[in-house]
Structure 1
Amino acid sequence: MKTLTKEMQSAITPQQAFQLLKKGNERFINNLKANRNLLQQVNETSDGQHPFAVILSCIDSRTSAELIFDQGLGDIFSIRIAGNILNEDILGSMEFACKLAGAKIIVVLGHSKCGAIKGACDHAKLGNLTTLLDKIKPAIDSENTIKENRSSSNAEFVEKVADLNVKLTVKAITERSPILREMIQNGSVSLVGGMYDVGSGLVSFYDEETFEVDSKILAEESLTK
Structure 2
Amino acid sequence: MKNTAITKNIQSALTPNSVLQDLLEGNKRFMSGNTEGADNAALISQTTGGQFPKAVVLSCIDSRVPVETVLDQAIGDIFVARVAGNFENTDILGSLEYSCNVAGSKLILVLGHESCGAVKAACDGVELGNITAMLDNIMPAVRKSANEVDGEANSSNKEFVAKTVENNVRLTIDRIRQKSQILMEMEDNGEIAIVGGVYSLNTGKVEML
**So what's the TM-score if we normalise by structure 2?**
0.97
- Whole-angstrom distance in 2 between the partners of 1:72 and 1:182: 29
- Give, in whole Å, the separation in 1 of the partners of 2:56 and 2:148: 32
Identity %: 46
For each residue in 1:94-133, what CA deviation from the matched residue of structure 2 results, as whole angstroms up to 9, or x when unmatched?
0000000000000000000100000000000111110010
Residue of structure 2 in register with 1:68 after alignment: 70
**SS of equivalent to 2:135:** helix
Q: 1:110 maps to which residue?
A: 112
1:164 alignment partner in structure 2 = 167
Shift of 1:64: 1.3
| Equivalent residue, structure 1, for 2:57 | 55
For 1:124 and 1:189, locate their aligned partners in 2 and report how far apart those are by CA, in whole Å.
Answer: 36
TM superposition shift of 1:145: 2.3
Deviation at 1:85, TM superposition (A): 1.1
* Aligned counterpart, 2:181: 178
Cα distance between partner residues in 2 of 1:53 and 1:154: 34
Counterpart AA for 2:117? G
Deviation at 1:147, TM superposition (A): 4.3
Q: Secondary structure at the match of 1:132?
A: helix
- Residue 13 of structure 2 corresponds to 11
Whether 1:193 and 2:196 are equivalent positions in the alignment is yes
Runs of 4+ in structure 1 displaced over 2 angstroms? Answer: 145-148
Deviations 1:118-165 (A, max 9, x none): 000000011111001011000011111234311111111101101100
- Mapped to 2, the partners of 1:157 and 1:151 lie a distance apart of 7
Letter paired with 2:27: N
| Secondary structure of the corresponding residue to residue 38 of structure 2 | coil
Compute the RMSD of aligned alpha carbons: 0.8
Q: Distance in 2 between matches of 1:198 and 1:205?
A: 15
Structure 1 equivalent of residue 206 of structure 2: 203
Letter aligned with residue 111 of structure 2:
L
Q: Provide TM-score, normalisation by structure 1.
A: 0.90
1:123 corresponds to: 125
Deviation per residue, 1:11-49 (Å, 9 max, x gap):
111111111101100100001111420121111111111
Unaligned residue ranges in structure 1 (runs of 5+): 207-225
